[in-house]
Amino acid sequence: MKFIVDLTMGRLAKWLRIAGYDTVFYNSANPDKLIEIASKEGRMILTRNSGFIKKKKKTFEEKGIPFLLLTSDRVEDQLKGVAANFKLNLKGNPFTLCIDCNKPLVKISKEDVAGKVPEFVYQNYNKFVQCSNCKKIFWGGTHKERMEGIIKAVIEN
Ligand SMILES: [Zn+2]
């Protein structure tokens, strides 16, 4: 399942990526282009802009694009709403997408990260992945801790 979020929800985009859901952050105000991307790439539209939904509801229905209007400005509540609405498994596929650019992470050997991550990390972790796009390196701790924080926040509230 893939998503596109509008300007108002950059944090939600990151959280969905951490959970392994391909999410485009659409940081422009052109609604027609957003709809075009959603339609072409099969993405669900997530927005907090009720005027946008009101105006474009007919277009969404004609094009068969699922959408969800979120009302909360808290990212925990937003994620909870999305998970409930689309029946997401937030623990299903973490550690697969770059938090920053939504591109696939690929395995990288421990030898190859020497000198590129903090010494403490190098000593304490054995599994590393790298973004195929921005080349940022992630390790067990980065996604896992954030993931656990998210799940906790979503379940507890
Ligand atoms: Zn990246």
* Angle, helices 50-63/31-41, rounded to nearest 10 degrees: 40
The whole-number pLDDT of residue 8 equals: 82
What residues pack around ion ligand 1 (CB closer than 5 A)?
A: 98, 100-101, 131, 133-134
Mean pLDDT of the chain, nearest integer: 89
Q: Where does the pLDDT of residue 142 fall: very low under 50, low under 70, confident under 90, or very high at 90 and above?
A: low
128-131/23-26 β-pairing: unpaired
Please state, in angstroms and as integers, the Cα–Cα distance from residue 82 to each residue in 45, 70, 117, following that order: 10, 8, 34
The whole-number pLDDT of residue 23 equals: 97
% residues pLDDT > 70 (the chain): 94
Query: For 69-101, how does the pLDDT look when each residue is reduced to its tens digit (9 = 90+)?
Result: 999 999 989 999 999 999 998 877 777 899 899
149 CA to middle of ligand 1, Å? 21
104 CA to middle of ligand 1, Å? 8
For each of the domains in the chain, give its residue range(s) and CATH number, in order of start. 2-86 (3.40.50.2300), 105-156 (no CATH)
Report phi then psi at 45, rounded to 5.
-90, 125
45 CA to middle of ligand 1, Å? 22
% residues pLDDT > 90 (the chain): 67
71 CA to middle of ligand 1, Å? 29
Global pTM reads: 0.86
86 CA to middle of ligand 1, Å? 26
Report phi then psi at 24, rounded to 5.
-90, 130
**104 or 29: which leads in pLDDT:** 104
97 CA to middle of ligand 1, Å? 8
Nearest to 22 by CA among 105, 80, 81, 124: 105
Query: For 124-141, how does the pLDDT look when each residue is reduced to its tens digit (9 = 90+)?
Result: 988 899 999 999 998 876
